[in-house]
Amino acid sequence: MAVTQARTMPGVLELLPLDQVAFQSMLDAVRRNFERFGFLAVETPVMEFSSVLLTKEGGETERQVYFVQSTGALQAAKDGEVPELALRFDLTVPLARYVAEHEHDLVFPFRRYQIQRVYRGERAQRGRFREFYQCDIDVIGKDALSVRYDAELPAVIYAVFRDLDIGAFTIQINNRKLMRGWLEGLGLADAERQAAVLREVDKLDKRGVDAVRETLTGEAFGLSADAVAKLLDFVAFRSTSLADALAKLASLGTGSEALEQGRAELVEVLNLIKAFGVPESHYALNLSIARGLDYYTGTVYETTLNEHPQIGSICSGGRYENLASHYTKSKLPGVGISIGATRLYWQLREAGLLKGGRSTVQALVAQMDDAELPRYLALATELRSGGINTEVVVEPGKLAKQFKYADRAGIRFVLVLGSDEIAKGTVTVKDLRKQDQFEVARSELVEALRVEIEQATVMPA
Amino acid sequence: MAVTQARTMPGVLELLPLDQVAFQSMLDAVRRNFERFGFLAVETPVMEFSSVLLTKEGGETERQVYFVQSTGALQAAKDGEVPELALRFDLTVPLARYVAEHEHDLVFPFRRYQIQRVYRGERAQRGRFREFYQCDIDVIGKDALSVRYDAELPAVIYAVFRDLDIGAFTIQINNRKLMRGWLEGLGLADAERQAAVLREVDKLDKRGVDAVRETLTGEAFGLSADAVAKLLDFVAFRSTSLADALAKLASLGTGSEALEQGRAELVEVLNLIKAFGVPESHYALNLSIARGLDYYTGTVYETTLNEHPQIGSICSGGRYENLASHYTKSKLPGVGISIGATRLYWQLREAGLLKGGRSTVQALVAQMDDAELPRYLALATELRSGGINTEVVVEPGKLAKQFKYADRAGIRFVLVLGSDEIAKGTVTVKDLRKQDQFEVARSELVEALRVEIEQATVMPA
């Protein structure tokens, strides 16, 4: 029979088992910390009605949408007709639809997390994905939502990335009201022009200072060289401590209502982040953070790895006025963050920052004598009841080959129950990671392995 | 602004937060037990190339497939052309593609689990889903795979459903070789006719004995009344113990090669299942289990709830000769099972078998005095470090309202840190589930809550 070539579509990240273990352990850490902070899981269908999904007028994401048609719908489709269903391109629109649909059944402030895949028809390119995981948390208020929640999200970000143990990081914080107010002080009163300028500021990292200066003093913007110099000087500020950040904010002088509001919010948020348990070393006021999307109206966040700035922001978000104006007349202000887990995993792997090669299988019971199989199976049942993930070699084979299998499969412990051990009531444990071995009474085996495993997974301080 | 009605497509199960907790806890238990037995996680993209997915000739599932098109592909599409991409309709075809594609990077026997959603354009109907979770495990051999693995899968099923704690269940086991051999003894030698008869036997639960008898004695099959009576008598057998099952198999007398092979496999599998730790009360030989799909060639499984037979099989599967003949010339025999988690959850909920109403949030720190907020936050940080999922009421509000919130949100513990408690260095714990309260030294709080939580989550024996 002719065979079809087995291949996946471009732009997806399909992982081999040991890489999948590393990726899953990243998602697990994200979920664990989201739940620690009292966020509730939500999952939405991968498809939404196109009429629900595509409410915004022709943005970039809309051009990237994937449409879905059942076999019947495909056959009945007319030219130029928009298919009824489409795949979600983010988790924000489904959240808005979910909250609007279930508004009367939810308890507000509604604290939800969502870890699911989203779909975008990106141009095929290294590091660009058409299917990727997003890990989002949002707190949604009914009518109003205290700015105090803006201080809680950095605490969640801190807990997640500390747990992931991927090196020093900084949560960068700014406030769009402050930025707008400061631009007013510079003579830029028009909201649309302000937004356009902030979008340019947002490109500083990618385009560099000179290119942005040229754009802002060029025809399209027509800002004076002096104003642009002031602006670039202003947005260059990064606080070195909480006191430094507060001093900078105090030094801005009296300003417009927007500036005063933004400053008051920042002062409260920056102070409270510390009370939420985030060390000063891990967050900063960064006046260049603008977040391109006009969607954000107050606090904005980005998170960067201190040693790997080229990776860019690994967790971003902010405060918005109204989540679901397309679907409900209720006012639902919120604050949220998002981690693009697939891209983050890929970048960390590229940068060599991931510990790989470890299986979820913790122990392999070796096969020494086929007649003793029931004994090996009973040992495995004991281990599993004790919470140890265990595989049994069920067929006879050379011991060296069994060790090679365990090594290649990333299994740490091989358990040997030979006639000696059976006579003595012991088990010999070969620790392939430590390249060590020990013999232990069978009644103490589970506890001994647990101790070894726990030592290897102590959370970073 | 006009609002768009927020609604999901029909045929999906979107859950409110507390239901999602129950569902997620089911998926977690499935995953935990899959990993306990040393199965490795695999995830595949939701889309496959249509040319890869649709290799079988026009089956039912193929007519139910959802096709996917990017905006660009939709515009360029020609009438009658099959779109390039489609959503997976099960996890077996993607597994076959995965194993064929990554064959040289995998370690065999390859033990994989996969817990993901699949898509079928089913007719909209109560209890029928267009998007649903499947939880699959398979062991794939290269060239050959010992029948001993056929005895391991029931041990995994047993562990999963014991952990889910949904009442007594029985893993029903049969072997298609035995059935084919027995039909040969009845004079039915043609493989296609045998398969057709087994498909009718598979319908016994749904159609009843009389309807099946009528079909088998009718024109299409043309079996004698005597042969059908013998067949219906034979397939009515359910073993009451391992000895009973072995005695029945021994009583079949000498038969064709297929019967002898099937019997030998069943004897080995039934004996070994016990060695794998499954009590005799939880598995049985059931000679009516045929599994409609010709795909299965040896051992077949179904699992039913003893008290709720109307739910049908909650976990099915079997042995197959060759996983991926469409994609590779390598011979890859395997054995696997699948749990349709969305449907199972829905059925258990309908049957009132689920404990609901519990949040993943374990503790709520109440807000007594706004000036003490940093103290509440510090307490929450302590609890979270101790592994307790904790939410803080960050804004002032009546205490009664805070308790009402916790109750509605399914949070078990409310922690009160008033001026009395602060003075004494204690915390008052209100246990909403037990409707009880106690005061504990702050330094002992985490441990006290852990003990309470662990008591509530002790695994069933």
Q: Which helix (H) or strand (E) holds A357?
A: none
Give the residue from B138, B66, B429, B329 showing the smallest Cα distance to A84: B66
For B51, the closest chain A residue by CA position comes to: A4
Give the distance, in angstroms, between the CA of residue B38 and the centroid of all CA atoms in the same chain.
17
Which residues of chain B does A52 touch, with a Cβ-Cβ cutoff of 8 Å?
A: 4-7
Which residues of chain B does A370 touch, with a Cβ-Cβ cutoff of 8 Å?
A: none
Give the minimum alpha-carbon distance from B221 to chain A in angstroms, rounded to a whole number: 31
Two structure tokens written together for B265: 């496999």
Query: Is B372 in the same domain as B247?
Result: no
Q: What is the pLDDT along chain B (461 residues), one digit of tens a residue?
A: 678 999 999 999 999 999 999 999 999 999 999 999 999 999 999 999 999 998 765 566 678 999 999 988 888 888 778 899 999 999 999 999 999 999 999 999 999 999 999 999 988 788 899 999 999 999 999 999 999 999 999 999 999 999 999 999 999 999 999 999 999 999 998 888 888 998 898 888 889 999 999 999 998 888 999 999 999 999 999 999 999 999 999 999 888 999 999 999 999 999 999 999 999 999 999 999 988 667 899 999 999 999 998 899 999 999 999 998 899 999 999 999 999 999 999 999 998 888 777 999 999 999 999 999 999 999 999 999 999 999 999 999 999 999 999 999 999 999 999 999 999 999 999 999 999 999 999 999 999 999 999 887 654 43
Q: Which of B6, B38, B146 sits opposite A389 (nearest CB)?
A: B38
Average of per-residue pLDDT across A19-30: 96
Query: Is A258 in the same domain as A406?
Result: no
pLDDT at A451: 94
Q: Which domain holds residue A434?
A: 363-456
Which residues of chain B does A373 touch, with a Cβ-Cβ cutoff of 8 Å?
A: 148, 272, 275
Average of per-residue pLDDT across A304-333: 93
Contact B20 A4 (CB under 8 A): no
Which of A15, A32, A47, A326 is most worth mutating to test chain B (most B CB atoms within 10 A of its CB)? A47
In a domain, A461, yes or no: no
Which of B1, B4, B454 is most worth mutating to test chain A (most A CB atoms within 10 A of its CB)? B4
In a domain, B143, yes or no: no
Query: Is A341 in the same domain as A417?
Result: no
Query: Is A246 in the same domain as A328?
Result: yes
pLDDT tens-digit series, residues A271-285? 999 999 999 999 999
Two structure tokens written together for A254: 């009296």
In a domain, B182, yes or no: yes
| DSSP characters over A93-133 | HHHHHHHHHTGGGSPSSEEEEEEEEEE--PPP-TT--SEEE
pLDDT at A57: 54
Give the residue from A418, A414, A413, A408 showing the smallest Cα distance to A451: A413
pLDDT at A455: 85
- Of A321, A350, A379, the last residue of a domain is A350
pLDDT at B125: 85
Two structure tokens written together for A71: 């076999």
- Of A350, A385, A412, the last residue of a domain is A350
> What is the share, in percent, of chain A residues with pLDDT greater than 90?
80
Query: Is B373 in the same domain as B299?
Result: no
Which residues of chain A does B387 touch, with a Cβ-Cβ cutoff of 8 Å?
A: 36
For this complex, say whether ipTM is above 0.90.
Answer: yes
Query: Is B185 in the same domain as B277?
Result: yes
Which residues of chain B does A160 touch, with a Cβ-Cβ cutoff of 8 Å?
A: none
Contact B377 A328 (CB under 8 A): no
pLDDT at B291: 80
| DSSP characters over B247-311 | HHHHTT-S--HHHHHHHHHHHHHHHHHHHTT--GGGEEEBTT---S-TTEEEEEEEEEETT-GGG
Supply φ then ψ for residue B222, to 5 degrees. Answer: 65, 35
pLDDT at B293: 66
Contact A40 B17 (CB under 8 A): yes
- Of B288, B306, B324, the last residue of a domain is B306
Give the distance, in angstroms, between the CA of residue A44 and the centroid of all CA atoms in the same chain.
18
Query: Is B274 in the same domain as B207?
Result: yes
Average of per-residue pLDDT across A371-381: 96
Does residue A459 carry a pLDDT above 50? Answer: no
Kind of pairing, strands A334-340 and B413-416?
unpaired
Sign (positive/negative) of CA torsion A359, A361, A362, A364?
negative
pLDDT tens-digit series, residues B43-88? 999 999 999 998 765 566 678 999 999 988 888 888 778 899 999 9
Query: Is A71 in the same domain as A99?
Result: yes
Query: Is A208 in the same domain as A322?
Result: yes
Q: Domain holding B224: CATH number?
A: 3.30.930.10
In a domain, A25, yes or no: yes
Does residue A58 carry a pLDDT above 60? Answer: no
Average of per-residue pLDDT across A379-394: 96
In a domain, A301, yes or no: yes
Distance CA B213, CA A408 (A): 54
Strand order in the sheet with B66-70: A47-49, A85-87, A66-70, B66-70, B85-87, B47-49
Which of B21, B70, B152 is most worth mutating to test chain A (most A CB atoms within 10 A of its CB)? B70
Q: Which of A1, A148, A377 sits opposite B277 (nearest CB)?
A: A377
Average of per-residue pLDDT across A170-179: 96
Give the minimum alpha-carbon distance from B293 to chain A in angstroms, rounded to a whole number: 21
Two structure tokens written together for B332: 């890859």
Which residues of chain A does B409 touch, with a Cβ-Cβ cutoff of 8 Å?
A: 107
Contact B16 A105 (CB under 8 A): yes
C-beta of residue A446 within 8 angstroms of C-beta of residue A386: yes
Q: Which of A1, A21, A55 sits opposite B325 (nearest CB)?
A: A1
In a domain, B339, yes or no: no
Question: Alpha carbon of B214 to those of A99, B126, B211, B292, B435: distances in Å?
Answer: 53, 30, 5, 19, 60
Q: Which of A14, A65, A359 sits opposite B71 (nearest CB)?
A: A65
Q: Which of A38, A107, A388 sits opposite B408 (nearest CB)?
A: A107
Query: Is B201 in the same domain as B285?
Result: yes
In a domain, B148, yes or no: no
Distance CA B290, CA A255 (A): 79
Query: Is B290 in the same domain as B370?
Result: no
pLDDT tens-digit series, residues A83-97? 999 999 999 999 999
Number of domains in chain A: 2
Which residues of chain A does B25 touch, with a Cβ-Cβ cutoff of 8 Å?
A: none
Which residues of chain A does B408 touch, with a Cβ-Cβ cutoff of 8 Å?
A: 107
Q: Which residue has the tokens 């510990």?
A: A355
Query: Is A104 in the same domain as A242?
Result: yes
In a domain, A324, yes or no: yes
Burial of A300 per CB tally in 10 Å (0-12, 13-18, 19+): buried
| The amino acid at B377 | L
Q: Which of A9, A71, A405 sits opposite B63 (nearest CB)?
A: A71
Distance CA B96, CA B108 (A): 14
| The amino acid at A187 | G
Q: Domain holding B444: CATH number?
A: 3.40.50.800
Contact A71 B67 (CB under 8 A): yes
pLDDT at B59: 62
Contact A121 B381 (CB under 8 A): no
